[in-house]
Structures are given as structure tokens and as C-alpha cells.
Structure 1
Amino acid sequence: MVSETFADLLGQTTAIDLLSQAIAQAQIAPSYLFAGPSGVGRRLAALRFAECLLGNGLSLEPTTLRRRIASRNHPDLLWVEPTYLHKGKPVTAAEAEELDLKRKSPPQIRLEQIREIARFLARPTLEAPQAVVVIEGAETMAEAPANGLLKTLEEPGAATLILLAEDSAQLLPTIISRCQTIPFRRLAADTMSSILQQAGYAEILQRPDILAMAQGSPGQAISAWEQLNTIPDPILAALSRPPSTLRDALDTARQVSKELDIESQLWLVDYLQHMTWEQQRSPQPLQALEQARIHLRRFVQPRLVWEVTLMRFVQP
């Protein structure tokens, strides 16, 4: 049965019902928008939905088809994710890590990737009755790729496009209007606990700081836990309390800007905001950290950003 295909998608009853009904009634929309927080099952839902579409509506349980889709090794599936630009070519986050690239800005869906989608859909399918395109991080598209995608959404041909967006408000209204929205919600504490234990991350349940950052998203909890473990202990120790002198602030700023890439620094801003709020319950430090986030995203020199920010925290 179709519902069995979504058996491992926990806590998303509404999404499962909507997708199962579409398959059971053979009323598949040309495009879908899976909207909601990251780490709550949107990617897993896209995998399972693609399994149904490429398997012609059949529930095929763990089979060769499921493994091929998971490894992105199906000729009628195109999986697009935000990329960095390296030597004029887009590279995924995994590829950037392998190349040990120093990432200076967040990844995004680029115009060339949208053109690749158009080329992919222009050819006939090889195995399945239709093609499937999944676009992760759809909200990262700038205006040019968004307009290019709009043209594809108007005439997708024998295909279904699935857009995954954490913040659909950043998408063009015309894109949203051409998609059937499938809502994804943050998960209850018991569901969070079950997923984290099944995934082998039971230790996270003992970290209130990580759970507070995750806010009902097991994926975000796992990501935060793994990210926290990449931050050098001396930096975490230095930031666990306000700097006592200007020299301490400047030294910590130098360490952060030297040892962490921009994405790690942006994550650290989030972590410090949660930690500072729990410790002080004051809006002033949060505002200072938010300004740091804005400046980092605008490519202001990171060391300067952290120097100015941490000097504001020096205790008199």
C-alpha cells in the first residue's frame, strides 16, 4: 500500500495524507512545494514520493528502486541542491567539503542549475512514466534563477517538480501559486525523542541547549550537535562567558575568524543567541549578535565583526 511507503516519515500526518490521496486518486500535480522547517522530514518525504512516482504508483518497500533513488542513480530523477561557486562551476556542499574549500557565503540554487532542469525535462524518460525533479533549498534562488524556474513550472511536460523550501516567503508569489503546497510541521517532543534514538543520537536528549535550538526539528538537532563538535574547545570555552577585558575580546575574535569558515560563524551566532538568552534573558546581547549575523552575510571582514561584537560584551 502507498501509506507503507511513508511509514518512516514520522509526525507529518497531514503531508502523508495529502500525498497518499494524490497517488491513490492518480491526481498528481505538476509541481509541489514542501514547505516547513528544515530537518522535519521534507527530504525524506520527497524521496518516498519520488519512489511512488517513478514506480508508477506502486509501493515497492526497500527495493532496488528505493536504493537507486536514495543514491540519486535513477535516469528519470534529477536532484538539485544549493551550491557554491568554485572556479566558475557550481559544487555541492559535499563536494566543497571534499575539496576543502573555504566557503565565504551560503550556497544557493544558481541559474545554470535551472537551465540544467530545462535540459533534463526536454528529453524523453528512459524508464519511468514521468520524470521527477527535486529542488532543495528553493528559497535560496536569486531573481534570475527564480524567473527561469517559473518558465519551467508553466510547461513542465511529463514531469513532477518538488520544491523544498524552509521559508516559502522568500519565493516568488508566482512560483508558490503554481505549486500545490504540502505543509510540514515541527515535531512533538516524544516524536523527536523517538527519531533521535533511532538515528543513534540519544545523547542529544541530554543537551537542553541543542534541543532548544532545534525547536522540534530532529534534523536541526543532529546538525547542531555535529556542528558544535567541530568548534574548537578553546573557542567554546572563551565564548561560554562574557570577555573580562578588551584584550580577551580581541583574542577571541581573532580565533573565531581564523579557525571557522563563514557558515560555521553564522551557526555560532545562532548558538550564542540561544545560550545568551538562557543565561541573561536580555534583548541587548541578542541584538548585538543579530547585527553580527547581518554584517557577516554582507561580507564585512569577519574579524572586525567579531571584534566589535565581543567588545560590546566586555564586563566593566
Structure 2
Amino acid sequence: MKRFYKLFSSVIVLVLTIGAGLSALVPVTNAAQVPAKLSDYQNHPHRDAIDYVVKNKLMWLFPDGSFQPDKPITQADLVAGLVNVKGLTSGEPVQELPENHWAKVYYERAKRDGILDGVEINPNKVMNREEASRLMVNAWKSLFRLHRHDYQYYIIPAVDSGWVQAKNGAFLNGVSTSRYDSLETLTRGEQALTLRFLHKEFLGIQEAELIATQFHKSLRSSDGTFRGTLPSFKGFDTRLAVQFKNRDVKTIDSGNFSLNASQIDFAEFTVKFKGESKSLVRYRYQNLPTLNRVSTR
């Protein structure tokens, strides 16, 4: 019996040891499964962003409850984060990854969405800022028509859009820059900043689309009159800019309006976060008296 007990105990220890080793390789996406451990980021400058991404399940804690904010991110880390930000649920096959790879489902969804366009799949690759920026631009191009631009370096729109912090350094060709360093890596703490920014913007776009739909439903065009109501929502600025055929411009910020449709060249409706200049949605009404609209965001 004593010999059996010792053998049984050894087996248990071995199983627990192997299990612990395997779990260290797989991200924990549900923070509730692990005890809170703030010791490795409670004094970190990006703590608020880290709290946000963990709370919203955009990134994960590791099995020991740590976040490891200064650890460089891999391609798989960012792909998974961008998929989580956009809430993607459908995918298409990605043959480069084995069936049991933890990030396979994220890559499948990213591929269907276009996030992987022009990107060599290498989940363990530690990316520089330029490579990470390309994934971000791919993820956002369908939302902001970024595909219309032929970028020499993807880091430029990433920094200018606020997704990546400006940093002194050099472009990939070695030319020095005071804002668009392409060569350094991004850390998990920096990725938290990126994903928090993109997630808030993505949620803003969704809400702005609802506002734009409400505005569109209020519009009437009859008897030569173009009229409607600009909605008002906390945290957002709504605006209708009307350019007349004589080149005069009228801006309407709220309330009801009624205009002579025959005098209007076009009208453009925008929704922005209050105090910001970037449009979350922008629709143009070009062919009055018809009420057809085209997104110009």
C-alpha cells in the first residue's frame, strides 16, 4: 500500500508539473480564471490602458495573473487583439497554422476581414513598429477608406491616427525621423494603449452610425424643400454642412432645419466625438431632391 501511495503521488506531481508548463504557453483570455496580480503593472505608465483591455477581454493575463507589460508583442498577439477589438466571429481557413494552435481561430477571422492582406503569416514573429502598423491599417482600412492611400510606410498613418505613440528613431531605410520610428518593437503595454484607442473608436463608429441613421430617417424632400432634424447625443457633435450653388456655406449644429433644395449643391452630415476633429461617420447628399447618401468618411 505504501509503495502504491508513493507511485500515485509521483504521478500526480508529474501531471501537475506538465500541466503548469503547458498553461504557461497559452494565453488566458478570461481574467476571472486567475487571481488578480497587479504587481507587474500597478506602477506602469499604461496601467489604465491595461486595466481597460483586460476588462474588455481584448488582451489577457497570463496564468500566474501577471500582464508582463514590457514584453515585446508577437504577430499572433496583435492579430488576436485586433480581432477582439472588431468583435469578428466568422473566418476562412488558414493553412499555415496547425489545428491545435491557440491563435488559429483569430487568424481565420483576421484573414476573412482583410487584416492579413499582404502579411506573411508568422505567429511567433516579434514585430517592429512598421510591421505592427501594417496590421492596424489593414484592420481599419474598411472603416476609414485608408486603402485609398499608397503608403510608403504604415507607421505614418498609425502615428498620425493616434494608434501608436510618436517616437524618435529611423524608417526602415535608415533615414532618421523624430516621430515615425519603424524599427523598435512594441510592448504589451503599448499594445494595450493601441487596442484601447481602437476599441473606443470602433464603439464610437457603431454609435455614430446609429445617429446617422436617425438623422437620415428624419429627412424629407418634397415641394422643393429639404428638411429634417439634427439629433443630439451626449459625447458627440453632429453637424450638417450645406453648400449652395452660389458657393455660400451654411452649417447647422442642432435642431430642425428647412432649406430650398433647388439652391443646394450638396449637403454633408458628420458625427464626431465631442471636441475632436476626426469624423466617425460622414455622409454626403449630392443629388437633391433625392435623399440618396454616400459615405465619404
- What is the TM-score when the length of structure 1 is the normalising length? 0.23
- What is the TM-score when the length of structure 2 is the normalising length? 0.24
More helix by share: 1
Structure number with greater Rg is: 2
Structure with the larger RCO, 1 or 2 (CA within 8 Å, 6+ apart): 1
